[in-house]
Every structure is written in structure tokens, then in C-alpha cells.
Amino acid sequence: MHSPRAALFSVFFLGSSFIGACPLLAQDQKQTEPTLCRGNYHSEADAVAQLARMASTYSSLEQWQDRATAIRKQILTGAKLMPLPTRTPLNSIIHKKREYNGYSVESAAFEARPGYLMYGNLYRPLGKKGPHPAVLCPHGHATGPAGGRLRSDQQHRCATLARMGAVVFSYDMIGFGESLHHGWNHQHPQALTLQTWGSIRAIDFVQSLEDVDDQRIGVTGCSGGGTQTFLLAAVDNRITASVPVVMVSAHFFGGCHCESGMPIHKTAQLETNNAEIAALAAPRPQLLVSVGGDWTKNTPVVEYPYIRNVYTMHGKAANVENVHYPGREHGYQYLKRQAMYPFLVKHLKLNPAGVFDATTELYDETGTMLENPEQMFVFDKHHPYPETALEPGSQVSLR
């Protein structure tokens, strides 16, 4: 006897008679205004049916590419980034260099828009010849004065990647970490806009560094950082490898307005979901890390097959992978980082010597020197906050 869950998943693999009967738009297809798909916008069964509807709109690579173009346009339009803002000078600040075992850390900031600062830390390899690949590390919604990029799990992943030869930029979402410290609030109405544009400019920032190989740019984050990971890979083809962790779901659209508070998923012209947005990374290498304890519980049998089919149409099915931990909970804990490391080693051509232990088949993180927020901050009593910076909470001009 088939379980209810098995019956649910089997819907996706029904023949063309089911798919052909599904209209492109959902039940409120007559709407004229965009719909916000917030949180658990629809059920797991609805998500499976929606994926089938979306799959019915293309049967060739050319048709998929046309759809992908339309999805990218909808994301950027909904996020108020169409057309893209002018790339104004970054006015980068990089200072306070600290050297540790095999890597260094610097405090770094740049202007994503005039007066609007992105705060972060730049991790670089020591003793390795460049140019090096770069990895962007957006973070999730861990709150508090030591949240965001300041968390120990984020420091571990950044330092370990740097020890293997990557230049890593770890940066704050609006209203977290140093951004919070300087007065910005995550409830800012432009959060999704500013975070997505900030991530695009973060690519510009790492590509401006002389020791970075522009053709090897990775991104990985979990939860809200996972959303930033697949959104960035979807809208910017300079990302060459991506690892969204515990976030790619067809039924859950993100629980924060910075993920689902703007109309990027559904309009009168087109419906999509985060699984399909993640598919826009194809054919570039992508690893989905999922767990049984959150909304990614169905990834191996629902989201991953849909995404893999898109990669198969590109002739690159081997470029997408899924590592699933059925007994684990939400987060970017040690085990999930252990899944990410070999993927980025392979696709960004990192050097794991001295980090990978062939006996245990694990990547050693004990070389990380955990820092406190004061060490990590870009601005302090010795490095004053720029007078040209916008007042916290200001509306940021995009044009």
C-alpha cells in the first residue's frame, strides 16, 4: 500500500494527461495585481501541482530558456531592480588585517549605492599563489548582537574555505551584525531590494580585488542566506557555483519580508516558486543541502527532480546534486558544511591539502580562530564611521 506521502510525490511524475490539463496560472489567474507568496503560501500537494503546471510550459531547452528569461525579469521587476541601478563607485574600505594559521581576516565595507554601506569581513589564504576563486557568504536570520556574519558557524566556513585557497567575503544583511550596530532595521521596506542589489555588488567587490579569479565565483548561505544564494545565482550569471542550504522549497516561500515581501513569485503573467528559481542556475554547478526537520524535507523527491530535469535539458545533469539529512534540523551546522566543502573544492578548484583528513574523510575546522564582534567590525573608535553614510532607516535611491 502506498503511503499518503508517496501518493503526494507521485503526482509530479504523472503523465502528460495531468500536466496538459493544468493551466499556467493558479486559481486566481484572473488577477491583475501581483500576489505576495509569503511563508507557507500553499500546501505540499499544491506545490507538486504547481511544479507540474510549470513543467507543462516547456518541452525543449529553447522553451525553458525563454521561461527562464521571463522569471529573471519578474524577479528583478518585483524587487524594483529593473532596470538594474547604475553601478556607482564602490569606495571600498579594507583594513584591520589579522593573520592566523593559513589565512587572514580583514574588515571590509563598500557602498552598494551612494551612502548605503555593505559591511563584511574578507578572508584570504596565506601561503597560496593566486589568483584565487572567491566565495560570497550571505547569512541567515540569526538575531542578536553576535548574529549574522558574526556567528561562529559562519566564521568556521569562511576560514576553512580561505585555508583551502578561496578569497571569502562574508557580509551582513540589512539590520544584522554591524548593520544593526549602526542602527539599521531588518524591517526596512527595501530589505529584499537592498540585499539582492548588495549581493550583486558583492560580486563587483570581489572582482575588483587583484588576487581574485573573476571566472571562479561561488556563493553559499543557509536559511535567509540560502534565499540570497539562489536569488543571486538566478539573476547574475557571474556566479559559477552555488550551494543554497536548507532553503529550496516549492511550498515554503521564505518567512521574512526580505524573501517574500515583494512580488517576485507570482503575477498575472507568470507563477514560479523557489525551486524553479533555483533551477535558473543551470547549467552551472549547484548543490542543494536539505534536511528532514524543516521545509526542505521533500527536496529529494519533489524539488530536486524538477531542478535536475532542467539540468538534464542542458546536458549537465551531473552539475546538480542534493545531500539530504533526514534526521537533522534547520541551520548550517558542521555536518552541512562538510557536504559543502568537497563540492566547492571540486568546482572552484580549491586545494584541500592540510584541511581534508583522508582518514576521517572530514574537513578540519580546528584551524579557525574565532573572533569577537569588536574585532570583526569595520568601524570602531580607531576607524570612524563615514560622514557620507546615509542615516539608518533612510530610503535608498536606486536611480
Q: Cite the DSSP H helix spans in the chain.
A: 4-10, 16-20, 44-55, 61-78, 152-163, 177-181, 191-207, 224-235, 257-260, 274-279, 303-313, 334-348, 373-376
**Could you tell me the mean pLDDT of each successive run of 10 residues in the chain, 399 residues long?**
37 34 42 82 97 97 98 97 97 98 98 97 95 97 82 96 98 94 93 97 98 98 97 98 98 93 94 98 98 98 98 98 97 97 98 96 97 96 94 94
Distance, in Å, from the CA atom of 376 to the CA atom of 67, rounded to the nearest integer, reads: 42
Quote the Cα angle for 184-139-234, to 5°: 105
CATH 3.40.50.1820, applies to 93-376: yes
- Using N-to-C axis directions, what is the helix angle for 224-235 and 191-207, rounded to 10°? 60
What the block records as the C-alpha cell of 177 is: 551584525
Distance, in Å, from the CA atom of 369 to the CA atom of 159, rounded to the nearest integer, reads: 8
Query: What's the pLDDT score for residue 31?
Result: 53
Query: What's the pLDDT score for residue 32?
Result: 62
Phi, psi of 321 (to 5 degrees): -135, 160
Q: List, in order, residues 6 or more apart from 65 with CB less than 8 Å away.
A: none
The H or E element that residue 93 is part of is strand 93-99
Query: What's the pLDDT score for residue 52?
Result: 97
Query: What's the pLDDT score for residue 34?
Result: 76
Query: What's the pLDDT score for residue 27?
Result: 43
Total-model pTM = 0.91
